[in-house]
Structure 1
Amino acid sequence: MSADPQIPLRADARRNRDQIIAAARLIFAEYGPEVPMEEIARSAGVGVGTLYRRFPDREALIREVAVDNFSRVLQDARAAITEEPTWWQALVRLLYQSVELHLSIQLAMLSKKALEIVKDDPAITQLRDDLLVEVDTMVRGAQEEGDLRPDVGAGDVAMLFALLLRQMESRRPEIAEMSTARCITIMIDGLRANPGTPLPGRPLNRHDIN
């Protein structure tokens, strides 16, 4: 297990921990969670021994990265709700802004081991559920305002974004970034009210994707 998060860390220990998590987030997003731990330590600017003192195995590091990641996305969602003038604008901001959500989806989709950790960890499950509640609030609010098509639910939005990000592969980072932005824009246009094509079935809610 990693060190007890309830025990305050010294400033240098906290800095090392934050550097490791930040490095792992970037490396996992680009190469997946199976990258050698030595590479993560080197990228974080710490020794391998320091890494293993904070995170004794890969599972512990993946778990902490996922917790950190979902926490960031949840903060993004709540900030968007607080700061944007409409529910629709809050939803659009979250979809454009949350690159962190990309990593969460990659961790869940591209690694069986990571999927098991993300799926079964109580803290991650709670953060994920809290995020879906916020998305559900945005969706209902945007529908009441008349900006979001009435025949979608929070589960539809989550699944659309997951499917979109899974396809974002390119050898050139600038092309991947541009294509992500373009596809999100196309998706947002499809979510606007007064759609031309009715959707089959029923709206997917946040419980449908558990």
Structure 2
Amino acid sequence: MYGVGVQTGPERPRRADAARNAERLLDAAREVFAEQGPDAPLDAIARHAGVGVRTLYRHFPHKEALVRAALERGIGEQLGPVITDALTDEDPRRGLVTLMDATLTLVARERSTLAASASMAAEVSAPVLEAIDVLTERAQRAGSVRADLTSTDMQRIMAMLTNVLWTMDEQGAGWRRYLVLMLDAFDPEGASPLPTTSTSKCQSTDNCASFPARK
């Protein structure tokens, strides 16, 4: 027992230092990607975090691991509470609008990190898309969203809206103009019948994932 006690004491500050280094690296990754784009080298991220490249590789053995952790942190911190609030909103259309707006706000802020790995961005965005599906179905049952919208439609609509961001000022929120236009198209009243599609599901993340925005 005494031996274990002696060993765990000095381990705690080392673990705390490691945790702080990991947090600094994640913050630095998002900032450097924003400044230099998705091709920013890892040594630039390490310098920005104030640690050595070896420290970066101890935490994140390759760029994909760093990008995944940065994306998961951003989505968890910025969208996690929004998803919870949206899903408990008594007005499902309002919850849907809130989540779509918050998602696009995050994409606008993190576009370079997202672009660093488009396929991974689609994977980590799955909880957001699932919540959008749930809210769309609830709003359809409430009669506030047209009944012929499908899950695939919503994924592709999010893809179109995120890709609009690449054509707009990074510092502005002009993309909200197109969100409002799209939301008007959700209204059941006066909606024109939609043509059928050749497939009912997205066949790949490249076709209809929402987060990966491309230049």
Indicate whether the TM-score tops 0.5.
yes
Equivalent positions of 1:75-114 (< 5 A) are: 75-82=81-88, 84-98=89-103, 99-101=105-107, 110=115, 114=117
In structure 2, runs of 5+ residues without a counterpart are: 1-11, 205-215
Map Cα deviations across residues 42-66 of structure 1 (whole Å, 9 max, x no partner).
3334333332221122122123223
Residue among 30, 38, 58 paired with 1:33: 38
What residue identity is the alignment partner of 1:81?
L
Structure 1 residue 16 corresponds to structure 2 residue 21: yes
Distance 1:209 1:157, change over 3 A: farther
The 1-side partners of 2:127 and 2:144 are apart by: 23
Quote the residue 1:44 is aligned against.
49
Q: Provide TM-score, normalisation by structure 1.
A: 0.72
**Structure 1 residues 27 and 86 mapped into 2: Cα distance closer, same or farther (>3 Å)?**
farther
RMSD, aligned CA: 3.3
SS in 2 for 1:17: helix
Pairing partner for 1:56 from 46, 49, 61 = 61
Which among 188, 192, 196 is matched to residue 197 of structure 1?
192
Give the paired residue count. Answer: 190
Matched residue, 2:183: 188
| Match runs of 1:65-144 below 5 Å | 65-72=70-77, 73-82=79-88, 84-98=89-103, 99-101=105-107, 110=115, 114-116=117-119, 118=120, 125=123, 128-144=125-141
Aligned to 1:173: 170
Alpha-carbon distance between aligned partners in 1 of 2:111 and 2:169, rounded to the nearest angstrom: 21
1:194 and 1:154 map into 2 onto residues whose CA distance is 20
* Cα distance change of structure 1 residues 141 and 202 upon mapping to structure 2, 3 Å threshold: farther
TM-score by length of 2: 0.70
Moved more, 20-29 or 179-188: 20-29
- Structure showing greater Rg: 2
**Equivalences for 1:140-151 in 2 at 5 Å?**
140-151=137-148
Query: Which 10-residue stretch deviates more, 9-18 or 130-139?
Result: 9-18
Superimposed CA distance per residue, residues 112-170 of structure 1 (whole angstroms, 9 cap, x where no aligned partner): xx245x28xxxx84x54443332211010011111111111232122112122213236
- CA 1:21–1:162 in 2, change beyond 3 Å: closer, same or farther? same
Aligned mates of 1:150, 1:79 — CA distance in 2: 24
Unaligned runs of 5+ in 1: 1-7
